[in-house]
Amino acid sequence: MTALWRRAAAEFVGTAALVTTVVGSGIMAQTLSTDGAVRLLANSTATVFGLAVLIAVFGPISGAHFNPVVSLADWWLGRRTRTGLAIPDVGGYVAAQTGGAIAGAIIANLMFDLPAIAWSQTIRSGAHLWFAEIVATTGLVVVIVGLVRTGKAAIIPAAVGAYIGAAYWFTSSTSFANPAVTIGRAFTDTYAGIAPGSVAGFVAAQAIGMVAALGLIAVCYPVGPAETAVMTNAAPEERQAQHA
Nearest in space to 15 (alpha carbons), one of 74, 62, 78: 62
Read off the pTM.
Answer: 0.92
Q: What is the arithmetic mean of pLDDT over 42-55?
A: 98
Give the domain ranges of the chain: 4-241
3-state DSSP call for residue 66? coil
Judge contact between 49 and 41, C-beta under 8 A: no
Q: What does the pLDDT look like over 182-200, one tens digit per residue?
A: 999 999 999 999 999 999 9
Looking at residue 228, its pLDDT comes to 46
Angle at 209 between CA 223 and CA 216, to 5 degrees: 30
Looking at residue 40, its pLDDT comes to 98
From the number of C-beta atoms within 10 Å of its C-beta (0-12, 13-18, 19+), residue 209 rates as buried
Q: What residues contact 164, with CB distance under 8 A and at least 6 apart?
A: 44, 47, 48, 51, 140, 175, 177
Q: In angstroms, rounded to a whole number, what is the distance separating the alpha carbons of residues 152 and 170?
A: 25
Mean pLDDT of the chain: 93
Is the pLDDT confidence value at 35 over 50? yes
User: pLDDT category, 26, cuts 50, 70, 90?
Assistant: very high
CATH T-level fold of 4-241: Glycerol uptake facilitator protein (1.20.1080)
Q: In angstroms, rounded to a whole number, what is the distance separating the alpha carbons of residues 109 and 81?
A: 43
Q: What is the arithmetic mean of pLDDT over 211-225?
A: 90
Length in residues, the chain: 244
User: pLDDT category, 208, cuts 50, 70, 90?
Assistant: very high
Angle at 38 between CA 198 and CA 20, to 5 degrees: 55
Q: What is the arithmetic mean of pLDDT over 134-155?
A: 97
Looking at residue 236, its pLDDT comes to 44
Looking at residue 218, its pLDDT comes to 96
Task: Report the percentage of the chain scoring pLDDT > 90.
Answer: 88
Q: What does the pLDDT look like over 79-120, one tens digit per residue?
A: 988 889 999 999 999 999 999 999 999 999 999 999 999 999
Is the pLDDT confidence value at 244 over 50? no
